[in-house]
Structure 1
């Protein structure tokens, strides 16, 4: 179950009321630094931009590939551990605007996590240490540590124990 906080709206859909929920200037600043980061070829500079200007928590030697899209409204709710690879064109959302409500939830990605290209991570999700997310996965719930998951909707392909056994068999 995703951990999000829900906020009801009574007039038009929640996205129509966006600047009542988050400052226009914050969104503009975040957008500029996210766009710089999306094209930045230097991983250490990209991580510095995200830590400094977006207030994301990013561990050492984490690599955000080209075109990764962190949440524009609430990037400070994203935590990524050390030694992770976030694949090309992955989207990490900490918010979702719906018709009658909007939801905000922290995204926590553990250490040594591999996230394949074109993955979407929804708000309120925790991805455990050592997890592997297949390309083009919709991460719509928590991922156990060490698991290999994939698909839309996401399914566990191998548990940590099954992955460990596969690694032992390959040795």
Structure 2
């Protein structure tokens, strides 16, 4: 279940009213620094920008791969734990602008989480510690710790990955 706050709007769809919800200057500043981070090869530089410019909570040794797109308007609503990997070209959203309303929700990604490439994480979800998200997934609901999930719609492939052995150990 996603936890989002809903804000109704009058008149045209909510995206036309975006600058009533967020400052233009904040959006421009965030966009510039997010684009720098998307292309920067330096993980410490990315973490510094996310923490000190965008206001995200980012744990030690958290790694954001090339082309990761974090929410432009509300990146401060993103929290990523220690030693987590966010895969290539993934998107983390904390807002959604709809026809008659917009919604905001925090995204919490635990520690030691592996998020595969091209994954989209929607507002208001929590991903538990040690979870694995398969590439190309749409995370539209909470993910339990130690679970392996994938797909669109998101499905649980394994409830607990603690007992899994690496492929090279299974063959012996």
TM-score range relative to shorter protein: over 0.9
C-alpha separation in 2, matches of 1:47 and 1:83: 12
Cα RMSD after superposing both structures:
1.3
Q: Does residue 1:87 correspond to 2:87, yes or no? A: yes
Map of 1:167 onto structure 2? 165
SS of match in other structure, 2:165: helix
C-alpha separation in 2, matches of 1:141 and 1:80: 17
SS of match in other structure, 1:167: coil
Map of 2:74 onto structure 1? 74
Q: How does the TM-score come out when normalised to structure 2?
A: 0.95
In the TM superposition, what is the alpha-carbon distance from 1:10 to its structure 2 partner? 1.2
Q: Which has the higher helix share?
A: 1
Map 1:119-130 onto structure 2 (within 5 A). Answer: 119-130=119-130
In the TM superposition, what is the alpha-carbon distance from 1:22 to its structure 2 partner? 0.6
C-alpha separation in 1, matches of 2:164 and 2:107: 29
Map of 1:118 onto structure 2? 118
Map of 1:152 onto structure 2? 152
For structure 2, the 5+ residue unaligned runs are: none
Map of 1:37 onto structure 2? 37
Structure 1 consecutive aligned stretches of length 4 or more whose deviation exceeds 6 Å: none
